Amino acid sequence: MDTAYLFKDRKDAGRKLAERLIKYAGTTVIVFGLPRGGVPVAAEVARMLKMPLDVFMVRKLGLPGNEELALGAISAGGVRILNQDVIEMFDVPEPVIDQVTQKERRRLDDRQRVYRGERAFPDVEGKTVILVDDGLATGASMMAAVESVRHLKPGRIVVAVPVAPPSACKELAVRVDEIICLYTPPMFEAVGAWYEDFSQISDDEVRELIQRGNESGTEAG
């Protein structure tokens, strides 16, 4: 592993992303973090560039018996992206996919209430939306978020991640206005392999970061 590209933690990754996003400072932008791990990264971007921060809900559809392997993903707005390669490789029947989807949809709705409470979703029409995660593996979750955001008629969609395989960045690049992948190792491992500290993020931490970032962004605006 090339340790020159290791991120100390998610804050460090956020600071490095902010350096690449500096051209958007002072423009009409909303930064969305994908929970849970993307929120601390997005929070640092929003803090450094004085932009409002919010959360965009996505849920991975894990393969039954191997939850880390993604059948696809769902996002706020009802979008579902499926990974046909995994589905065909493991011969996953449609009823199983639908069952996993329903289960994760309930979890997504629960997390939405936990993270957002009664606060309304921000108006993004005509604005630049920056979608941030702590890294991509298959890219399914980010693609679901992108397609959901597109329905909200933003002026521009930007995806920003610290690390991702070249294939995921290439696939996303044709779906968005700009994509920033700081590091695209040809021999990709798990996202956490590129961080010195990849600690689990709690729901309370996500909620606190979003609340703090939303208040700061409102004051900055």
Secondary structure (H, E, C), 156-218: EEEEEEEECCHHHHHHHHCCCCEEEEEECCCCCCCHHHHECCCCCCCHHHHHHHHHHHHHHHH
Length of the chain measured in residues: 221
Q: Quick one: pLDDT band at residue 6, thresholds 50, 70, 90?
A: confident
Q: Quick one: pLDDT band at residue 213, thresholds 50, 70, 90?
A: confident
**Is 217 or 82 the better-scoring residue by pLDDT?**
82
Range from 2-6, 59-63, 80-84 carrying the lowest mean pLDDT:
2-6
Do strands 80-82 and 53-55 pair parallel, antiparallel, or not at all (unpaired)?
Answer: unpaired
Q: How far apart are CA 215 and CA 162, in angstroms?
A: 25
Range from 53-67, 107-121, 203-217 carrying the lowest mean pLDDT:
203-217
Residue 138 has pLDDT above 90, yes or no: no
CATH fold for the domain made of 3-56+123-220: Rossmann fold (3.40.50)
Distances (CA, A) of 51 to 27, 28, 138, 145: 9, 8, 28, 19
Q: How far apart are CA 131 and CA 28, in angstroms?
A: 14
User: Tokens 């890294």, residue?
Assistant: 135
Residue 216 has pLDDT above 70, yes or no: no
